[in-house]
Amino acid sequence: MEWFNLLYGSAGRGWIEAALLACLFWTALARPERIRSLAEFRIAALLLGVSIVAPAVIQLFLIGRAPGIGRPSAAGQEIGAVMYATAIPPLLTMLAVLLGIDSVLPRTKAPM
């Protein structure tokens, strides 16, 4: 269980991503007629994939920016970069969820 916490963080975003991935696959395979907007569905799947890969890419980017020999440390800039970088994957997951739900919900006509 500790490995899951290290891999996905303590917020449990990994379970949300796994559930959304399963739902997207189920919708695409079992009920493709439910997909109202194919473009939104594809963007949701793409954003989900990017949100799964983004934490590893961000960690590599931050490791590359770490102060080394001969590089002065700017603590304020590093903290700001870490704060903004760690906010990217949850935002991508949120957008994937919203677009995924919107792509399969039927449109209702407004009452006249």
Q: What is the pTM of this model?
A: 0.70
- List Cβ neighbours of 73 (8 Å cut-off, separation of 6 or more): 67
- Short-list 37, 50, 82, 84, CA closest to 63: 82
Q: Which range, of 31-40, 71-80, 94-103, averages the lowest pLDDT? A: 71-80
Over residues 36-53, mean pLDDT: 90
| Measured CA angle at 108 (ends 102, 112), to 5 deg | 145
Q: What is the mean pLDDT of the chain?
A: 78
- On the question of pLDDT at 1 being above 50, the answer is no
